[in-house]
Amino acid sequence: RASTGRHSWTSAVAVAASLFIFGFEINKKNYFLKNNSGGKQMMLSKAVGNRFRDGITYPFRKAGGILPRWIRGSRAHLTARAQAVPNGFSLLKTEEIDEYSAKATIFEHKKTGAQILSMEKDDDNKVFGVAFRTPVEDSMGIPHILEHSVLCGSRKYTTKSPFIQLQKSSLKTFLNAMTYPDRTLYPVASMNDKDFYNLVDVYLDSVLHPRAIGDPNVMAQEGWHYELNDAESPLSIKGVVYNEMKGVYSSPDSLHNYLTFQALFPDVETYKERSGGDPEKIPSLTYEKFREFHGKYYHPSNARFFFYGNDPVEKRLEILEQYLNDFEPLPEVRGRSEVPTQSLKSSPYSVHQTVPVAKGQEANKNTATVAWLVSEERLPENEQLAWQVIDQLLIGNTAAKLRKALSDSGLGSAVIGGGMSTGLKQPYYSIGLKGMASKEDSQKVLDLVLEILTDAAENGFEESALDAALNRVEFGLREFDTGSSQRGLSFMFSAMSDWNYDQDPIQGFKFEEDLAQLKDNMAKDPNYLKSLIKTRLLDNNHRVLVTSSPDSSLEEKKLNELKEKLQNVKSGMSDEEIQEVMDQTKKLTALQAAPDKPEDIAKIPRLTLKDLDKEAKEIPFEEITLEGGVRGLTHSLATNGIVYADLVMDISGIDTSLLDVLNLFTRIASGATGTTDKSRVDLRHYIDTHTGGVSCSWTTFSPINRKDGEVVVQEPDKVSIKLEMTGKAVAEKSDELFQLFSEMLYDCKLDDQERVIQMLKESKSGMESGLVGGGNRYAGTRLASMRHIQGLISEKSGGLSYYASICRLLKEAETDFPSLQKKLQKVKDAIRSADPTSYLINLTADEKTLEKSLSSAQKFTATLPGTPAEGAGDPRDIRSGESLEKFKESLGKDVKDEGVIIPTQVNYIGLGGRLYQPGERVPGSASVISNFLRTAYLWDKVRVIGGAYGAGFSLNNRFGTFAFTSYRDPNVKETVENYKKAAEFLINEDIPDSEVERAIIGTISGMDYPQTPRVKGGASLSRYLTGYNHEDAQRYRDEVLGTSIEDFRDFGRRLQKALDEKSATDKPAIVAFGSKSSLSNSLEEGLSLDLIDAFAQKEEVKMT
């Protein structure tokens, strides 16, 4: 969790369920955004989560009327200091944000009334965004389809997709678009000034002058169209958003969240309908209505523009003015786009629906949510901060009062709901359970929620709990660590959640005053937090109980209904109309397949190789030796008095039969069951009182293999397993941090059967959601498991095979807990007896904090259990022992093609194999060509023409393996055939030198990205453990920059050989996740797949 002012972001509930991101998928378990054209993953849990901060509601009129109170008020400094303002703009407000060493200024464009928030901060990573308020009246998905479509060519930039051209050839650190329930946002970011303004210019032209409003083929491609290749074939519907939403509507979790939202706002169409689109309603969208929507809302008078970074404010306004001056004022648009207010209901109510599940999996698949619409107005800023503390107390961790009660009740498998959500016009509160035995249990969930809330409102919280919650919230505010996300983006998302409703977008960043007020309120009035729970929830009758029940026939029923509907549509067509659809299909396919004209591509501004930094970035570190011979790494970086600590130990010698309990053990060692001296609740209070968080995890590492000093492909069996404790604290609390490392790891309790059963149920539930919504990830893992031990371990501990393991462990926990407890004890014993020389402590902090933290680390290592091995140890050594060596036997078996059956309306298609043999070099050019395949060939063939939401190509440099994957794909065999033609494309296609250069630039953008000090320290640790050094990184970068067209041809020939491989062990394999009907049809079309029912496995899925 990270915070920006009072804006805090956690896992999304209804907001994320209705938020759609162009070209990206949301991994809802970890809240990653993963670029489906193959780019890197980025953690955005802070950016799209459900706790956006809101401001106070004030009356607002457009230019010429009353200014917003936040502009007129005493806190607005209209003339605070001299500031040059271009003639076309007015200065509305400027403030210094001392909390984050930034300055924020709001300008208004005089002619159109467009507002601009310009944030100045010493940060090279510059951010721009523009948001339009886009309310809907139906579920045809117009905002979502338009979000995709405006990036498909514009007035100045006439290629079919400037977006993908920018993906190929810019140094972007972020490039995307997002549809919320009531707004659409277009953000970009770059650390290169020239590149940044190129991105801004393309995006401004795209949103204000899109090709889509004059070319119906764009809506047909991105939204929906009938497809018919010949008169005898069945009619079908294709479209990128259409297929994306079919995938969303296959998810029981998404459907449940939709119903919750609909029930909370029964009278507000904007929130009751689905801005992303309902697959049953999308085909009702006409081109005329599509065009009308853009003209109605995509106007500067309805826009909010955001800039952040260290570039000149004057330059920002200059580029905006070039576009804004083209428009006349449209003062009525802001009123037209205003979201109505939902009146609070006078009595509670309930709603119910059925959702699709796999046959045989109906048991324990009921879900219930208790939700309140909290207010008709937005919460005051100081109350929002109070609710962050309340949420921490009620649901912030597994020991929090309400979450613990629900988890321990035995009514369900996993707690859902995010507590207080303030990202939309009105705040709402939600909490619930999934995995219930029957829908009647929903009343028990409601009763329990009300019971716990009533107790909290009457009796309050323990003093230790209050101190812990307040400390955790304050730590997050002051730390402002956004993880792998970008700080400028976090500021923007935060500001837009206020600004969209014409509230002050700045004040939320200035948390000091409200934090002091909160502490004062809590000190003076012991009933302060209790009264908020009572008035906002218990005394509020706008409460809904939402229940979803399983229906194993629903998916097949919908597929049959669609099939029948399309048959009826076709049978109702005349011969002329059928011919017209065939002609349109042929025309659209031809347009999609036609390459962009060189002169059109040349219009898109881009960098050249001369603009690129030739030097690889280095993260300096110091290697030290601590007490007991333990090695340490230190990184002296500006962390504002916070130390980020990692304790890493090698556990590769652990018995492989224990691998499937490692996930469970690390959750236990993260505090899930308490320790010998502290209960689960007391431990959590101690953690939150003294630190910013402590957790345990495990991972695999494969060391670098070298030949003549250069990095080459590693042998498939070379891997080590590492256990890691991570935590953060201020310098004065570093002793407590390391004491927690020791207590949680060595003294964790293993005898809490009820809690263990609950955790396994949560894991099972999470995997069931993941398999349905993210089959591409599971396909990639399964493909890797056929080639190397690291992939095999990933499959057994987190892939399709692991689902059967979880089911088996759950049964064991319920029927023979002592047996499972013995396995957990063996893991604990192995850790306690680990050789201390296999330990490594990694510290990232400023110099003063490092000094204090090192003293704490020395005391910790001096008391480590275990006996040092003879001779000098090295934490980078592979210590696999005999047990892990047995995994070799699982490699080299016959490779088979598989079809994995899941309840879904879309497919996830993987194909992979070995491209480089152990001992061969993978040149830097391979990354360039991989990037080119994703953003050129696969984008055109699988996404644009095929209609999939995304497609990717990944290359594992360490083990020399490759994998094609698609996401929310309507096809199976057609996609596989496109994969197999990729090599021919690279060998024979006329690829201009300019395209090679674009691909190089795009690859460099994936290598250079902004990092917080914590992320830098973690990246340096990974390099150290694998043996990858700065010289290796520089050599690889040089090879990337030197990529030529001949490298493309060589790679294509190598790929062709890999795809043509016929040997039983090295031939490429297909792993396809999809519905039974879709996979069965692919068998009839000639694919040979061994079909596996993902959820019908009684034993572990057999590894090939």
User: pLDDT, tens digit, for every residue of 355-404?
Assistant: 999 888 888 899 999 999 999 999 988 999 999 999 999 999 989 999 99
17: CB partners within 8 A, 6+ apart: 253, 254, 257, 258, 261
* Eight-state DSSP code of residue 945: I
* Band of residue 19 on the pLDDT scale cut at 50, 70, 90: low
- Report how far apart, in Å, the C-alpha atoms of 84 and of each of 88, 89, 112, 356, 572 are: 12, 10, 20, 59, 66
- Strand 622-625 to 631-636 pairing: antiparallel
Rg (the chain; Cα; Å): 28
- Strand 631-636 to 840-845 pairing: parallel
* Band of residue 887 on the pLDDT scale cut at 50, 70, 90: low
**What tokens does 901 get?**
């059956």
Cα torsion angle, 869, 875, 878, 881, sign? positive
- The pLDDT, as a whole number, for residue 381 is 87
**What tokens does 527 get?**
């009933």
| CB distance 1004 to 612 below 8 Å | yes
Per the listing, tokens 């909490």 go with 431
Which of 25, 108, 147, 555 is labelled catalytic? 147
Q: Residue 396's Cα: distance from chain center in Å?
A: 20
Gap between the Cα atoms of 454 and 537, Å rounded: 10
| CB distance 276 to 263 below 8 Å | no
Determine what percent of the chain is predicted with pLDDT higher than 70: 89
Partners of residue 516 on adjacent β-strands: none
Question: Following DSSP, what letter does each residue of 1059-1070 receive, concatenated?
Answer: HH--STTTS-EE
97, with CB counted inside 10 A (0-12, 13-18, 19+), is: buried
- The pLDDT, as a whole number, for residue 65 is 33
Partners of residue 913 on adjacent β-strands: 962
For 703-816, where are the alpha helices, taking DSSP H only?
734-746, 753-773, 775-785, 789-798, 800-815
Active site residue 997: no
- The pLDDT, as a whole number, for residue 485 is 66
User: pLDDT, tens digit, for every residue of 159-191?
Assistant: 999 999 999 889 999 999 999 999 999 999 999
- Report how far apart, in Å, the C-alpha atoms of 240 and of each of 148, 154, 246 are: 9, 19, 10
Which of 95, 108, 120, 222 is labelled catalytic? 222
| CB distance 365 to 252 below 8 Å | yes
The pLDDT of 98-121, averaged and rounded, is 96
- The pLDDT, as a whole number, for residue 44 is 31
| CB distance 1086 to 1020 below 8 Å | no
| CB distance 356 to 561 below 8 Å | no
Active site residue 269: no
Residue 32 has pLDDT above 70, yes or no: no
User: pLDDT, tens digit, for every residue of 792-813?
Assistant: 999 999 999 999 999 999 999 9
463: CB partners within 8 A, 6+ apart: none
CB atoms closer than 10 angstroms to residue 377: 13
The pLDDT of 496-506, averaged and rounded, is 94
Return the amino acid letter for 832: R
* Eight-state DSSP code of residue 661: G
- The pLDDT, as a whole number, for residue 867 is 58
User: pLDDT, tens digit, for every residue of 204-246?
Assistant: 999 999 999 999 999 999 999 999 999 999 999 999 999 999 9
User: 389-422 burial string, b = 16+ CB within 10 Å, else e?
Assistant: bbbbbbbbbbbbbbbbbbbeeebbbbbbbbbbbb
User: pLDDT, tens digit, for every residue of 292-310?
Assistant: 999 999 999 999 999 999 9
The pLDDT of 580-598, averaged and rounded, is 94
What pTM was estimated for this model as a whole?
0.90
Per the listing, tokens 């496109």 go with 978
Return the amino acid letter for 909: I
The count of residues in the chain is 1104
**What tokens does 802 get?**
């692991």
**What tokens does 327 get?**
């428009």
Gap between the Cα atoms of 999 and 1001, Å rounded: 5
| CB distance 901 to 772 below 8 Å | no
Give backbone dihedrals phi and psi of 786, rounded to 5 degrees, phi first: -85, -10
For 306-400, where are the alpha helices, taking DSSP H only?
313-324, 332-336, 381-394
- The pLDDT, as a whole number, for residue 21 is 53
Gap between the Cα atoms of 431 and 210, Å rounded: 41
Q: Tell me which of 159-163, 870-874, 1004-1008 is least confident.
A: 870-874
Task: Give me the chain's average pLDDT, please.
Answer: 89
Gap between the Cα atoms of 903 and 359, Å rounded: 8
* Band of residue 868 on the pLDDT scale cut at 50, 70, 90: low
- Report how far apart, in Å, the C-alpha atoms of 263 and of each of 543, 546, 759 are: 9, 8, 30
* Band of residue 37 on the pLDDT scale cut at 50, 70, 90: very low
**What tokens does 659 get?**
């691998």
Determine what percent of the chain is predicted with pLDDT higher than 90: 81
Question: Following DSSP, what letter does each residue of 406-447 receive, concatenated?
Answer: HHHTSS-SEEEEEEEE-SSSS-EEEEEEEEES-TTHHHHHHH
Closest listed residue to residue 613, CA positions, set 878, 1007, 931? 1007
Return the amino acid letter for 198: N
| CB distance 746 to 831 below 8 Å | yes
Closest listed residue to residue 229, CA positions, set 240, 218, 238, 220? 238
* Eight-state DSSP code of residue 210: B
CB atoms closer than 10 angstroms to residue 156: 15
Q: Residue 398's Cα: distance from chain center in Å?
A: 22
Residue 787 has pLDDT above 70, yes or no: yes
User: pLDDT, tens digit, for every residue of 695-730?
Assistant: 999 999 999 999 999 999 999 989 999 999 999 999
Return the amino acid letter for 421: S
| CB distance 1020 to 621 below 8 Å | yes
At 890 the three-state DSSP class reads helix
At 724 the three-state DSSP class reads strand
- The pLDDT, as a whole number, for residue 759 is 95
At 544 the three-state DSSP class reads strand
User: pLDDT, tens digit, for every residue of 927-977?
Assistant: 999 999 999 999 999 999 999 999 999 999 999 999 999 999 999 999 999
| CB distance 666 to 873 below 8 Å | no
Tally: H helices and E strands in the chain: 41, 35
Per the listing, tokens 């400023």 go with 846
- The pLDDT, as a whole number, for residue 42 is 33
**Element spanning 750, H or E:** none
Residue 70 has pLDDT above 70, yes or no: no
